[in-house]
Chains A and B, each alone.
Chain A
Amino acid sequence: MDFEPKILGFLCNWCSYAGADLAGVSRIQYSCNLRAIRVMCSGRVDPAFIVEAFLRGIDGVLVLGCHLGDCHYITGNYEAQMKMKMLTKTLQLIGFSDRMRLDWVSASEGNRFAEIVNKFTDRIRNLGPSPVNKEELKNGAIDDLIAVKYAISSSRLRALVARERTIITEGNVYNEKIPEEKLDSILDEAISNEFVRHKILVKIKNKGKSVPEISKEISIAPNKVLEHIVTLRARGLVDLEKITDEVPTFISIKEDT
């Protein structure tokens, strides 16, 4: 049987949901794969929702908002843009970034809505089923997605993203405007660190492991792994499990991060 991707859409109430309704009123036919969730604003879409969808085996996620400058809530879609930028960067680390897309549809663009849904469905069809739906890739993909979920839910990344637009446009508390490129590089670093840290946490969730073991499992140099373990211990997320033959093993000590 042909692969029919499962696609989830987040539509903002005022523009894209209205655009989708208009497509209906105009009887514009488009692919059946989309299931939409109505939110008041694209800025409401927590990046964690999208990762949650991937964890549940959904093959692609569309987030649609009002065109920039037309947001019913003034700047909600700019905030959505910041969040999705961060999420895309994070999903790139695990090869999932092509499975999500942020775009804009106004209330008068029924045609555009149908076009975006069709194109996105084709893209996902070409990408094939999500690794979560493939028996041989499932476990690895879920571990990756859980690490991403916790990384993007960490207060550090969330705070950075939430402040990004203010810092670019209005400046920080010292009235310094920091260029987007510079913030992006800070963001990139934070993303890759948080992702690796949470990946370590996933690996030592139920069973304590030594630094060389972790290093081998996640293909990262042992000294880097140790650095992350130290940070995670300082945050109270990891503890020493035991020392066997002078080799310490570490274990995750908190269910949620």
Chain B
Amino acid sequence: MIFVQNNLYTCSEVGLAEIRKNVKEKNLNRVVVASCSPRTHEPLFRATCSEAGLNPYLFEMVNIRDQCSWVHMKEREKATEKAKDLIKMGVSKAALIQPLEKIRVNVNSSALIIGGGIAGMTAALNLANQRFNVFLVEKDPELGGLIKDLNQIYPDNEQASKYLENIIQEVKKNAKIKIFKSSTLVKIEGFIGNFKAVVKGAKQNVYIEAGVVILATGASAFTPKGLYGYNGKTIITQLELEQLLKKGNLHAQNIAMIQCIGVRNEERNYCSSICCMSAIKNATILKNQNPSANICVLFRDIQTQGTLYEEYYRNAREKGILFVKYLPEKAPVVKEKNVEVYNDFLNQEISIPYDLIVLSTPLVANEDAVEIAKMLKVPVQENNFFLEAHVKLRPVDFATDGIFVCGSAHWPADISESVSQAYAAASRASTILSKSYLEVEGSTAEVNNDLCVGCEVCVKLCSYKAISRNDEDRIVVNKVLCKSCGVCGASCPHNAIIIHHFTSDQVISEINSYGGC
């Protein structure tokens, strides 16, 4: 320690100028500021060090305000002792900190979008309209996803085919979007800004380089084989009803719909969230076509979120569609000519005659979801839907940077939800694509290959998939992906990982300067 100065406000321009001046004049190679919290002011002081020609990581901050003077206002002497200890700890760490460099990586400004349903197409259009190149990969021979099979879409009862055609035309017309139909992702490697993918097409493999990946692979309709007498003729699913309505050759007088088929049970413990509105929509269409039809919807709970959907539901009831609640432990029983169901309000069994039963089945994760998840190293939840980084704070991100999710791949979503998620994913992606390079923190983990035995404990532990075995059979940290949490370093069985800026030596020097003996 060769120079100490007291300032009223070290973070004011006067204080910062003093730091710059003294670093230069006295040729200082470490700077410690004891003041407020590094959470608010570390960036400012680091930048000041930088301006003075000192590596910004050669700065250490000691918090003697928020965590000392402000919280021990009536114990001046003890607080002063504490401040002295804290400064001692900070200085001893400062002696050991090392200069680090921020790392720059170039960003490929194209996006790879897997899935050409409504979510994928919306994201593609959004990015293409921002002048980014988009590679849109669809496994079916045609774009459109699940909407291809729909009749009308709620709440405006617009023809699904018309709605879809407009979007498909827009996507096809857009010169920035390159479409690969009948194609699947077979391999992907790389990281944010620099993904390299192999896509297997109908004729040949295509190699794609992209800066971001958006997963919009959607979900599949569940076929209720063996449930409620499902036969595909008199007992069908909502999706099959949509197709019959589309063809316009449906003649049924007594129709019963049963909700929550094969879902919200032990095997699939989630709510598919779109089936209530689909059933209400189809019941309304049937009732409009044939006002004398008897339509009864057997439900567990009706989910019609928002005023728009709630009003849609009320209209359906006003039209004379019956909604009857059933209890999961006393589920409806489908007989030859009628459905028998116990109603809790009436406290009795009721019998509903039918000539058509429509089962509302959930969307389930695609069969290849797990395979894709493994390829991209992103997680899926218990029902194999893709799992976002944080349900509220990062709803369309994955923990792995540069990969995003939208639409039913993440959770059963209707069109409006898929569209807004697609916009969200595209907007998150564009924050990366709009940069020509990314700059990442220098304080990352680093493997000391002299100590590493290659046990790969760290590879599994890293939430960001930043650690891997390279071609030379060595364990390496990808500094771009590393978020410097330090979990790998604290866990490595052989202490072979250095956590820069929080090295064991640095932490132990802080401990030692507080402890005594």
Contact = CB atoms under 8 A, between A and B. Distances in A.
Nearest to A165: B461
A24 B483 contact: no
Nearest to A11: B67
A76 B463 contact: yes
A79 interface: yes
Interface residues of B, number: 54
Nearest to A38: B38
B206 to A, nearest CB: 33
Nearest to A58: B515
B490 A43 contact: yes
B79 A32 contact: yes
Interface string A149-165: 00001011011011100
Contacts of A112: none
Nearest to B455: A159
A40 B486 contact: yes
A193 interface: no
Contacts of B399: 74
A21 B455 contact: no
A8 B516 CA distance: 13
Given A43-B485, A44-B486, A163-B460, A27 B502 contact: no
Given A24-B66, A52-B508, A163-B460, A40 B485 contact: yes
Contacts of B337: none
Contacts of A27: 70-71, 73
Given A17-B39, A39-B486, A57 B66 contact: no
Contacts of B442: none
A44 B515 contact: no
Contacts of B82: 32, 35
A21 B37 contact: yes
A24 B486 contact: no
A8 B71 contact: no
Interface in A23-56: 23-25, 27-30, 32, 35-41, 43-49, 52-53, 55-56
A73 B39 contact: no
B348 to A, nearest CB: 45
Interface stretch (B14-22, B126-134, B493-501): B493-501
Contacts of A205: none
A163 B491 CA distance: 9
A56 B493 contact: no
A62 interface: no
A54 to B, nearest CB: 8
Contacts of A23: 66-67, 71
Nearest to A156: B493
A76 B66 contact: no
A37 B491 contact: no
Most central of A23, A43, A114 by chain B CB within 10 Å: A43
Interface string A65-104: 0000000111110010001000000000000000000000
A166 B460 contact: yes
B316 to A, nearest CB: 39
Contact of A53 (B485, B490, B515): B515
A109 to B, nearest CB: 14
A13 interface: yes
B484 interface: yes
A6 interface: yes
A50 B57 CA distance: 26
15 contacts: A17-B39, A21-B40, A32-B75, A36-B63, A46-B490, A46-B504, A49-B508, A57-B516, A57-B517, A72-B485, A79-B487, A155-B493, A158-B494, A162-B492, A166-B460
